[in-house]
A and B are shown apart, each in its own frame.
Chain A
Amino acid sequence: MTAVATAPAVRTETRSRAHEIWRIVRLHTVNPSIFFGVPWLILGAAWAVMMIIGLIITGAGGPRDEMNEGMRYSWAVLSPQWYLVVVGVQAIGLTFSFALGFGATRRDFWLGTSLMFGLVSLMNAVAIATLVQIEKATDGWGVGIAMFDSLWYGQEGWLVDFYTTLALQLLVLFIGASITTVYLRWRMRGTMSVLFGSIALILAFVAVATFTESWAAVIAWFGGIGLVGVFTVVLGLAAVCAVGGYLVIRRATPR
């Protein structure tokens, strides 16, 4: 949250472009529980549950190493992501029509919202990557649990953890936001078209890969590009959503 408190270099009195975009960021943070409070509450609660489970297992004399290995497959570290999809949806579905009433342009609203998404993703990425390191350094918070040092985390260093979280976070926020712009512009018909279109595209890919018996090649390709490569694809998808959302929202109308 410190990034938000210190960043306003733009003065409120000046009516520059930067001001018009920055006020959208401020609008998203007037009620800090949406972007910061609730996600960290979810993560904190997940951590508390993991700690208690860890204490129960070790207290009962369970094998510490096996517990740690088992916990690597828990998705607790990703628990706030589902909520953040909803945050992305609400940022457009609710805050957008409010901002229009307050005289913001669609362009500035999307740019400001994107900036907000960027800042939030940056902060979360720094925090998660750092928490992974702390967990490793403290031997699972002294209990031996693996909440942050799980899934793909904690294997290739802070920078990779940071990069992968950043990419995932951006995708999660922009996917909710950009689909909502489609809804605002073309309503249900447009949303359904995009949804079924995406499903059809995935099915077509699956069909082609299956009939040409190239699954091995696909898996090999993903293996070849590695963890960073996969998350670069994720980042690319986030960028597509961000640019698509900008193009769509320019003619969107509030409900």
Chain B
Amino acid sequence: MTGTVVRASGLTKRYGNFTAVDGVDFTLEQDRIYGLLGRNGAGKTTVMQLLTGQLFPNAGTLEVFGREPAEHADVLRRMCFIAESQRYPEDFTSAHVFTAAPWFFEHWDAAFAERLVADFRLPTKRRIKKLSRGQLSAVGVIVGLASRAPLTFFDEPYLGLDAVARHIFYDRLLEDYAEHPRTIVLSTHLIDEVANLLEHVILIDRGRIMLDRDADEVRGSATTVAGPRAAVESFVADRAVIGREGLGGLASVTIDGRLDQRDRLQAAELGLELAPVSLQQLIVHMTGTDLGADTAEEVAA
């Protein structure tokens, strides 16, 4: 059975005057790896909390496995979500977490969990509140991987993980995903680290979806054009510009949309340099531009 796992439309969550998630529409398809990307406070965790029924939306409709998630045991059973700031019962160790996990996740693989504990060198007898940030992330990663839940969320899994641990997560996730396909949602602001893992990208900023596209499409979708200012401006005149930098008579403009052979020839004739834009650069362009305006407003206020 393939199909749509999550269908959200007009999904809204407000906290007083603050709108954390602002009327978003999106769908998640079965057995794909999604990146829920965005800056700190963009609304990533709120979206995941809504999808897992931890929060109740103020408006909009939400269907997860065919129905509203909150308070529906048959839906919740198929999900695993360890929040980045997850609270654990008093005096819990990660050994306690792994003991309890199989009662909640029917596909729990204890051997896999044990292997991951060794991989991450997690001290399972140490109290969770005494763990370092990286070890805490490892607990969430191990639960997420070993649960094999049909819809698994990883909330900032890389937080505090060292380079080796990040690599282990990357490898184990892809290995296990190949054997046991499932829908995975990975939220992070460390975009370059996960860029190659993702099949689909949902970029969220200030509670709104800025981009909802196939990762491959995103990777080739933007180009930076650099060269003499006049030439650059004439080249980008009727294109969608998402970023602009300049130094003296030189300009570097990032444009959205693919370039075909004719465009490339034209650019070459004008003496322009074309460079591909990484996922991270693209996202900085798309979510960072308002930053200046925002601080200016704050100063004015």
Q: Which A residues are within 8 Å of any B CB, using their own CB?
A: 12, 15, 20, 23, 26-28, 30-31, 33-34, 90, 93-95, 97-98, 100-108, 250-251, 253-255
Residues on the A chain within 8 Å of B86, using CB: 97-98, 101
Contact for B77 among A15, A28, A90, A97, CB less than 8 A: A15
The residue in chain B whose Cβ has the minimal distance to the Cβ of A97 is: B87
Residues on the A chain within 8 Å of B77, using CB: 15, 103
Q: Could you jot down 12 A-B contacts, CB within 8 Å? A: A30-B89, A30-B99, A31-B92, A98-B86, A98-B87, A98-B89, A102-B80, A103-B80, A105-B72, A105-B73, A250-B71, A251-B56
Q: A23-B104, A30-B96, A251-B56 are in contact. Are A101 and B89 (CB under 8 A)?
A: no
The residue in chain B whose Cβ has the minimal distance to the Cβ of A99 is: B104
| 6 tightest Cβ-Cβ pairs between the two chains A and B | A103-B76, A102-B104, A23-B103, A95-B89, A97-B87, A30-B96
Q: A98-B88, A253-B55 are in contact. Are A106 and B71 (CB under 8 A)?
A: yes
User: CA A7 – CA B90 in complex, angstroms?
Assistant: 24
User: CA A27 – CA B103 in complex, angstroms?
Assistant: 9
The answer to whether the Cβ of B188 comes within 8 Å of any Cβ in the partner chain is no
Main secondary structure of the interface of A (DSSP, over half): helix
Q: When each residue 73-99 of chain B gets 1 if its CB lies under 8 Å from chain A and 0 otherwise, what string results?
A: 100111111110011111111001001
Q: A30-B99, A98-B87 are in contact. Are A103 and B79 (CB under 8 A)?
A: yes
Residues on the A chain within 8 Å of B83, using CB: 101
The residue in chain A whose Cβ has the minimal distance to the Cβ of B75 is: A103
Contact check, B82 vs A101: say whether CB atoms are below 8 A apart.
Answer: yes
User: CA A15 – CA B49 in complex, angstroms?
Assistant: 24
Residues on the A chain within 8 Å of B82, using CB: 101
The residue in chain A whose Cβ has the minimal distance to the Cβ of B80 is: A103
Contact check, B100 vs A94: say whether CB atoms are below 8 A apart.
Answer: no
6 further interface pairs, Cβ-Cβ under 8 Å (given A98-B88, A100-B54, A106-B71): A31-B89, A31-B92, A34-B90, A103-B80, A108-B73, A253-B49
**B276 CB → nearest A CB, Å:** 39
Greatest chain A CB density within 10 A among B81, B86, B89, B93 is at B89
Residues on the A chain within 8 Å of B254, using CB: none
Residues on the A chain within 8 Å of B224, using CB: none
User: CA A62 – CA B44 in complex, angstroms?
Assistant: 70
Residues on the B chain within 8 Å of A95, using CB: 89-90
Interface residues on B, range: 35 or more
User: CA A31 – CA B88 in complex, angstroms?
Assistant: 12
Instruction: Give how many A-B residue pairs fall within 8 Å (CB-CB).
Output: 91
User: CA A250 – CA B72 in complex, angstroms?
Assistant: 12
**A186 CB → nearest B CB, Å:** 13
The answer to whether the Cβ of B246 comes within 8 Å of any Cβ in the partner chain is no
Residues on the B chain within 8 Å of A31, using CB: 89-93, 96
**A254 CB → nearest B CB, Å:** 6
The answer to whether the Cβ of B101 comes within 8 Å of any Cβ in the partner chain is yes
Q: A23-B104, A27-B103, A253-B54 are in contact. Are A94 and B79 (CB under 8 A)?
A: no
Contact check, A12 vs B102: say whether CB atoms are below 8 A apart.
Answer: yes
The answer to whether the Cβ of B52 comes within 8 Å of any Cβ in the partner chain is yes
User: CA A173 – CA B56 in complex, angstroms?
Assistant: 28
Residues on the B chain within 8 Å of A97, using CB: 54, 86-87
Q: When each residue 142-185 of chain B gets 1 if its CB lies under 8 Å from chain A and 0 otherwise, what string results?
A: 00000001000000000000000000000000000000000000
The answer to whether the Cβ of B106 comes within 8 Å of any Cβ in the partner chain is yes
Contact check, A27 vs B54: say whether CB atoms are below 8 A apart.
Answer: no
Residues on the A chain within 8 Å of B103, using CB: 12, 23, 26-27
The residue in chain A whose Cβ has the minimal distance to the Cβ of B74 is: A15
User: CA A31 – CA B80 in complex, angstroms?
Assistant: 22
Contact check, B73 vs A94: say whether CB atoms are below 8 A apart.
Answer: no
Contact check, A254 vs B90: say whether CB atoms are below 8 A apart.
Answer: no
User: CA A20 – CA B72 in complex, angstroms?
Assistant: 12
**B150 CB → nearest A CB, Å:** 11
User: CA A105 – CA B72 in complex, angstroms?
Assistant: 7
**A248 CB → nearest B CB, Å:** 14
The residue in chain B whose Cβ has the minimal distance to the Cβ of A37 is: B91
**A73 CB → nearest B CB, Å:** 33
Contact for A27 among B53, B80, B100, B105, CB less than 8 A: B100
**A55 CB → nearest B CB, Å:** 34
User: CA A30 – CA B96 in complex, angstroms?
Assistant: 6
**A106 CB → nearest B CB, Å:** 6
The residue in chain A whose Cβ has the minimal distance to the Cβ of B102 is: A12
User: CA A107 – CA B71 in complex, angstroms?
Assistant: 7
The residue in chain B whose Cβ has the minimal distance to the Cβ of A91 is: B89
User: CA A104 – CA B54 in complex, angstroms?
Assistant: 10
Contact check, B71 vs A94: say whether CB atoms are below 8 A apart.
Answer: no
Residues on the A chain within 8 Å of B54, using CB: 97, 100-101, 253-254
Residues on the A chain within 8 Å of B72, using CB: 105
Residues on the A chain within 8 Å of B73, using CB: 20, 103-105, 108
Contact check, A101 vs B100: say whether CB atoms are below 8 A apart.
Answer: no
Contact check, B81 vs A101: say whether CB atoms are below 8 A apart.
Answer: yes
User: CA A33 – CA B127 in complex, angstroms?
Assistant: 13
Greatest chain A CB density within 10 A among B86, B92, B102 is at B92
